[in-house]
Structure 1
């Protein structure tokens, strides 16, 4: 069988060739996502490297070869090599010394299998030789890839006990790659779901939003709900919300909209600004994410009969969210840019209206009519201004 890595472009990048020369082919292996995704025929974005060298040795060898490095996670053995094709994380082989479900204390190792044994899933523990591109598979990852099965390395409960975030990572990988379910993994994630409460909110939010960003996480979210995993991180979610997510995913695909994790998160919550604010605070969402979630939560009771008016009032992105969440057609405003209202307060003052509340009131009245008429030309705005001036007792 042909090794897909042999036909991939990324192993031939000049930067990776330089890194291999600097560190020595016998001392490094490409590992993780780049290897897995290539074997699955998925586009590769980041390349990670495992090495038998210590971080200090990596820094010195790269410096000798003129490669700049950044000690991005040196306490855990990771140094980032800055290459012209993009950065590569170079991590010394490790073994776990102690874990508490949130963080691990590691020691450097010298055996590839020992390093593989501490990884989460078999499909993430595939190592490729930088020159021959031969794959080393210590735990049946290639067979699991062929079956599209996400399986923990060793005992699933032990792997989760080492890092509770692996529960959410399991579901994310299952939604992305999985076809055949692994009963042990499913049971372990359900039984240990309460341990997610001990994780930092940022880590939970990061995994949840990555999951919701996938093309179709609906079935996975439904299983998380059925297995009582989802309620640990989103206790506000009810079965109807899970069903609404499936409907939204179909609607996005039908109308040609890319997945949006915050929009999808909104479907999993009651349409309440207070709930949205609470969830945003709990998950430590950014200001922009919080604003989007709150806007989506306000979708009820708002006129959506004219999508362009809605887009003018809220902005395109927020309007698209509300239309999709309400089952409306958002295609009419896809890529549409709202025009700028051509009238300024100075033009009203120039017509004899003293600066103050009268100017603001007339400006608002003209703008409201301009929007309701579908954003007509400046000539029509002039007519509208004259009409409002006359109605207000000012000479047009």
Structure 2
């Protein structure tokens, strides 16, 4: 266990680590927020005090991601999984088709939700037959003209792959599920018609879903769908049509201030590069004792580092010893097995150094 404090080395894939200063700030304000005599969780979402929290979080996100004019920020519920349904319901007009790039389990689920709705879809590219060991090359995309949109998953938590470069889709809106790498590196928002992300990896606790949506797409969205599933309704009401997850949004705002204090997204990216490289070096320099799931190094994720050991018995022993050393969340996803270190923004460099050292020592003992 890390001896400098009583907190675990948290490599959970989500809900994931939160910055300690954020937790301490929330703890300090928990009972009496800004001399209101109430917790943020007790404030009316119609109160001026809460609306200040709400709007500040929106402005911080715009600033950190350099979101240009012509985009709206929404705070929704239902996780990224609800967006799998909301996107085709709002944007897939009758007679149109939407493209999906398959790079892992979550992109498969996004496509499945659209097909459940009997909407017209097609697979623009896929690496499923290769067990999702890489991201498709941009030259592999088969994009149909007139598509309603192209959907991608920017980072794949289960398999450990991430888009290094995004496709240029021209007039066709590019929609990205960035749940597991939003705010981990700079991104040109203007390339996208929509970005969405569950908060529980890099933005805050579970319960909030951030949607960054181009205004013209909101104007074109369908209105013949249930009210709570309409982007235009949420936009018109500043995400306050019904009671939002107020505490989650407050926490999200604190995380954004923490990123700002670190030096912004560019500083966070440099930190994430350093953290990931520590663990990838342990894999690459192990002479095959550790093998990464992702075969193409350009497709490697900075957020989710997946690897196997020579046998399942050794993996079981590795995970058992890691747990005893205070490491949490290193089990690979049940669908693929092996090991996974999720080094999200709030995971400190020291945790990745400790894991690197543990991996080297384990190899010496068992290699």
TM-score range for the pair, normalised by the shorter chain length: under 0.3
Q: Which has the higher contact order (CA 8 A, sep 6+)?
A: 2
Looking at CA atoms only, which structure, 1 or 2, has the larger radius of gyration? 1
TM-score (norm 2): 0.25
